Amino acid sequence: MSNTANACSLEAHRENTETKRFGLPEELADKLAAERGVRVRPNETIDEIDERGVFVRQPNTFITPFGDKEGQFKAEAGRYKIFWAHGCHWSNRPVIVRDILGLEDVIDDIATTGTGKYGHGFVDQKDYQDPSTGAYFLSEFYENAKPGFTGRATTPTLVDVIEKKAVNNDYHRLSNYIEVQFRKFQKTDIDLYPKEYRKEIDEFNDWLFPTVNNGHYRMHFCLSWAAYDEGYNDFFDALEKLDKRLETNRFLFGDYITDSDVRLYVTLVRWETSYYHNIGPMKKRITEYKNIWGYVKDLYAIPEFKKYTFFEFPKNEFKGHRGWNGSFRERIASQVPYDEIWKADGSRKLVSSDPENVYLHTDISPEDYQSEISYSKWNNASWEDRQPRNVSISVDPSINPLKGLLKNKKN
């Protein structure tokens, strides 16, 4: 079979809308995977579970920084593309940041779809291929960059579309590279990652990762009660701290949105509308946290956040044939009036000294905006280093260490 499969033969395999939702027909997927040398996607609950039954997420493979030093990647317009997925909150982050900063024409993007056992692909695209590279599977870019790669190809992945290689899948720092290294291409002067406070933001983000961002997965993928209990307590304890913090701060670090708010929002929105059903009884819903719930709705009202918020459920076709056993998602989810429920009431403005502005603006030059992006310990190769119990932070997360320090230079 040639590198580009015959379009007619591919179209013949298109069965129905269910194929688009759940993946390629298995026979065709096997054929295309064999053609491209793609392996079956590893399973988290087999390969990423320790002896205590704790889910220890794999480290990111492609973490070479962007910058001007030898061996680092250079920021270029039109060279890179973000591969992301609707239901993946990790990958919703960089596209939100990109759009806020006005970089849509600089960094391209595409939403992946499932292909079954081979992971991310492009089932909803013509001939099942990424239009700009011809790839059938996200993992092709990993193999091109690192022959013999055996881990999971994950979203987000930043791909060099000229070389057709994965260059960065470090969701810990990818949004920061976009904020800093692509600054010279921005159409706006918005500042999500103020240079003088990056240490505090990075430390908070590295606390947020195991407690909240990865909290759902620690509960969902673990294989022991002890691991589940740890993840459950860490997640809900963290939400209590954040709710207290947001009582006197419109956003996490004060009056203006930072990189950290993007990270928290995408997790909370997925949790409240989708993830919760995988973890058993909930201590509290997001709607039960007075300050967090107002905060989430405040962010949902912002176009760049709303654009990448997906309340996607199958249209309600449940006719009662399963009786009382029909799930909420089958019976009700597609009928929920999300826009009405998630409408902001303006109350969050009352805790801001600059209520009509949500973004910090800066006149700092792109050259002066540069700095080394810190390394995240959550990318360490050591299994022990990535244990979620190793989380630490120097300031209680319920306290904003930058209270009153972020000043909008436009005022």
Walking along the chain (411 residues) 10 residues at a time, the average pLDDT comes out as 40 41 80 95 92 94 94 97 96 98 98 94 96 98 96 97 98 98 96 98 97 95 96 97 98 98 97 86 93 98 96 59 68 87 96 97 96 95 90 96 89 49
pLDDT of residue 17: 37
Tokens coding 275: 């993830």
Domains, the chain, in order of start with CATH, read: 7-170 (3.40.30.10), 178-390 (1.20.1050.10)
pLDDT of residue 280: 85
CA-CA-CA-CA torsion sign (306, 310, 311, 312): positive
Torsion angle defined by CA atoms of residues 403, 198, 233 and 305, in that order, rounded to the nearest 10 degrees: 80
Contact indicator for 139, 118 with CB cutoff of 8 Å = yes
- The CA distance from 158 to 168, in Å, is 5
Tokens coding 23: 């993946």
Residue 166 sits at φ, ψ, to 5 deg, of -70, 135
- The CA distance from 330 to 279, in Å, is 18
pLDDT of residue 200: 98
pTM above 0.85, yes or no: yes
CA-CA-CA-CA torsion sign (324, 327, 332, 338): positive
